[in-house]
């Protein structure tokens, strides 16, 4: 549909290894968050709090 996000941009979110472009509503943030390693840091915090192990 592409009402909010271009379908090609959104498809990156659904492409293996499924580890980037989590921000599916406003695509302009994805490169910024990727460069800052925001989601890597968030994942690390969640793993430390929950005790979950990283899945490769």
Is there a domain that residue 18 lies in?
yes
Is there a domain that residue 27 lies in?
yes
Name the percent of the chain lying above pLDDT 70: 95
Domain, as residue range, for 36: 7-50
Is there a domain that residue 2 lies in?
no
- Residues contacting 53, CB < 8 A, separation 6+: 47
CA distances from 23 to 28, 45, 49, 52 (A): 9, 18, 23, 23
The tokens of 13 are what? 């979110």
Is there a domain that residue 1 lies in?
no
- Overall domain count for the chain: 1
Is there a domain that residue 46 lies in?
yes
Given pLDDT bands bounded at 50, 70 and 90, which one contains residue 2? low
Is there a domain that residue 38 lies in?
yes
Is there a domain that residue 55 lies in?
no
- pTM listed for this prediction: 0.66
Q: Which of 1-5, 10-14, 40-44, 50-54 has the lowest mean pLDDT?
A: 1-5
Q: Quote the pLDDT of residue 1.
A: 61
């Amino acid at each position: 549909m592409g009402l909010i996000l271009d379908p090609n941009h959104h498809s990156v979110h659904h492409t293996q290894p499924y580890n980037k472009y989590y921000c599916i509503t406003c695509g302009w943030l994805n490169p910024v968050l990727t460069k800052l390693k925001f989601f890597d840091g968030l994942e690390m915090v969640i793993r430390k709090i929950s005790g979950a192990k990283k899945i490769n």
